[in-house]
Structure 1
Amino acid sequence: MPGLISRDVQTTLNYFSKTTDGEQPYNYTYQLPAGQPTTNIDSETHSVTIHDARGHESEFNVDDNGFTFLKSPAKEKLFEDEEAITTGYYKEVEELLRKEVGAKRVVIFDHTIRRPKTEGSPLKLQREPVLRVHVDQTPEAGVARVHRHLGVEAEHYLKGRSRIINVWRPIGNPVAHHPLAVADFRSVNREEELLPTRHIYQDREGSTFSVKHSPSHKWYYLADQTPDEVILIKCWDSDSTKSLLTPHTAFTDNTSPADVPDRQSIEVRCLVFDQE
């Protein structure tokens, strides 16, 4: 794109360091009684360069890199009505995945809205950006998701290709503070840098990956990403010939003006199958 100025950002990211008790890493998703920690993970910061993908969006795809940046305006704009999200917007997400990644069936199992905490706002709208490098699912958790949400149909779908893709979109205004960074799958050593982490709900347990630092990691974001643009983030893929996952994290962009609005975003997590 002629005249485009790159907005690469020098910043720090929070990576896994160690656990406080020497045990397997864990995160509780809910508040425990006073004095009980919700995680045993210690983080360490590392200086990194986040490369601006603006003008180079077509160079990235979910099969090779584990992510892609797409222009995809949504009919839904406010994201304040739960029914409008789970009916209208979910349908838009499903159609997007059918078009862009060849999905034959899409099962959306949840979404998260992140907005700044304000007095009196519902707890479900008080989720803040995650400033720690992570992957949303381990392969075991991916398979478990298929069983949890497909029931007796699970074995049928697990015979073909199964994926979990997170569709991430800004809400209300372009992203300035705390953009989302994604790491190229090809720059990640899965055996040495990914640590299975217990993800504990009140009624069950899943697993994610915490991520150790490597100077080989290649990080990207989309400068000034607008609500008309999405990032597809691969969390799991049963096809071992393709990219399998994407470490990601919010990060602090100190180049952004202080007076611009805080980040708002929605992420929709989807089971994606290559067969009906």
Structure 2
Amino acid sequence: MTVDIEDTVRTTQANLKYLLPGPDINRRFVSSGVEVNTGSYGPYPTTIRDGREIRDHFSLDKHGFRLLDAPTAIDDFHDTAEVEAKYKEEVHDYVKKEYNADFVVVNNWMLRTSAAIVPKPAAAKDANGGKPYRHYGGLQPAAGEVHVDTEPSRQLAAAQAIYSKERPNGPGFKRFIISSFWRTFTPPPQECPLAVCDARSVRDDEGTPNVLWIVDKIPEGDDMFAPMDDDKQLAAAIFRHNPDHRWWYFSRMARDEALLFKFHDSDRSVGWRTPHTAFWDSSLEGANVRESIETRSISFFE
């Protein structure tokens, strides 16, 4: 009998938050230090496998994710100027090499923490030099629901717009991949690591659009469901519980490692998207606060 290497690893148990039955309007309102969904999410006991000992087993086209050795020259990830000046180029080079892509555009980045965030004033623009809040840079809580940050039906148009802007004289592209490059920079083990779902265990028809609204102040009550132009907004995909989902994480991630995983691959003959979520890991002693930086990119194949 052949033993599947994936069944030899250690596991941990955690409650992952999946979308519950609820309102037809699903929106995610984001402001400085605060993120609120209109949908309700319930905890489902889930087995999460630790891929640390078999890290070289995983591939982007099979599983949808891969742990990379990715040394960084950044001294302080809380120094916005340093991150802007250096980190995007680092991410660009790692992603381009990993995919062997022809052209890569690195988009926004965000810091996240498992620690409590000091509440901001009700109008975030008052703490931002009078400017509206931008969901870019800054510090947000760990994302605690099962999701993918892109909704499939909107991605081709988004890719075409980015390519036309960044490469106006390019020959065009045959394939594109939207990814997250995720790094934790606090000491291991971390109390709230990131779990990723094996792309092979996710059906193509799964996922519900969750429209993103970036606001200065989070609406309350019925105002969260007021008529809004949802069709023109960015949206994520959120997921209902599926016992077939196969979850992984990499324990004790180090500062010079990064987890690269797919939001959307236009080639659906391979693993093309990876639901993910933060979770509280009680299996390792001496866990530290998790602080991380996530950076989005889009890779083009011409």
Place the TM-score, normalised by the shorter chain, in its bin. Answer: 0.7 to 0.9
Amino acid at match of 1:250: A
State the alpha-carbon separation in 2 of the partners of residues 83 and 264 from structure 1: 18
- Contact 1:157/1:273 (CA < 8 Å) preserved in 2? no
Q: Residue 174 of structure 1 is aligned with which of 174, 180, 188?
A: 188
Secondary structure in 2 aligned to 1:190? Answer: coil
1:209 aligns with 237
1:188 positional shift: 1.1
How far does the alpha carbon of each residue in 1:199-252 deviate from its partner, in whole angstroms, 9 at most, with x for none? Answer: 223596111111111111110000111111111110011112121100000001
1:266 aligns with 293
2:99 aligns with 101
Find out whether 1:29 has 2:42 as its counterpart. Answer: no
State the alpha-carbon separation in 1 of the partners of residues 153 and 82 from structure 2: 32
Amino acid at match of 2:17: N
Q: Residue 52 of structure 1 is aligned with which of 44, 50, 56?
A: 50
2:4 aligns with none
Amino acid at match of 1:86: E
Find out whether 1:110 has 2:108 as its counterpart. Answer: yes
- Contact 2:179/2:298 (CA < 8 Å) preserved in 1? yes
TM alignment of 1:67-216, pairs within 5 A: 67-115=65-113, 116-117=115-116, 119=118, 125-152=138-165, 153=167, 159-191=173-205, 193-202=206-215, 205-216=233-244
- Contact 1:62/1:234 (CA < 8 Å) preserved in 2? yes
Secondary structure in 2 aligned to 1:58? Answer: helix
Question: Runs of 4 or more off by more than 6 Å in structure 1?
Answer: 120-123
1:50 positional shift: 0.5
Amino acid at match of 1:231: L
Amino acid at match of 1:225: M
Shift in CA distance, 214/128, structure 1 to aligned 2, threshold 3 Å: same
* Total equivalences in the alignment: 262
TM-score norm. by structure 2 comes to 0.78
2:220 aligns with none
Shift in CA distance, 10/120, structure 1 to aligned 2, threshold 3 Å: closer
1:34 aligns with none
1:156 positional shift: 5.7
- Contact 2:186/2:289 (CA < 8 Å) preserved in 1? no
| Pairwise CA RMSD | 2.7
Runs (5+) with no aligned partner, structure 1: 32-36
Find out whether 1:226 has 2:239 as its counterpart. Answer: no
Runs (5+) with no aligned partner, structure 2: 1-7, 121-126, 129-136, 216-228
1:72 positional shift: 1.4
- Contact 1:178/1:251 (CA < 8 Å) preserved in 2? yes
1:16 aligns with 19
Shift in CA distance, 174/148, structure 1 to aligned 2, threshold 3 Å: farther
Shift in CA distance, 109/125, structure 1 to aligned 2, threshold 3 Å: closer
Secondary structure in 2 aligned to 1:265? Answer: strand
1:30 positional shift: 3.4
- Contact 1:117/1:127 (CA < 8 Å) preserved in 2? no
State the alpha-carbon separation in 2 of the partners of residues 211 and 266 from structure 1: 23
TM-score norm. by structure 1 comes to 0.85
1:255 positional shift: 2.0
State the alpha-carbon separation in 2 of the partners of residues 100 and 76 from structure 1: 20
Secondary structure in 1 aligned to 2:94? Answer: helix
Shift in CA distance, 114/255, structure 1 to aligned 2, threshold 3 Å: same
Shift in CA distance, 224/7, structure 1 to aligned 2, threshold 3 Å: farther
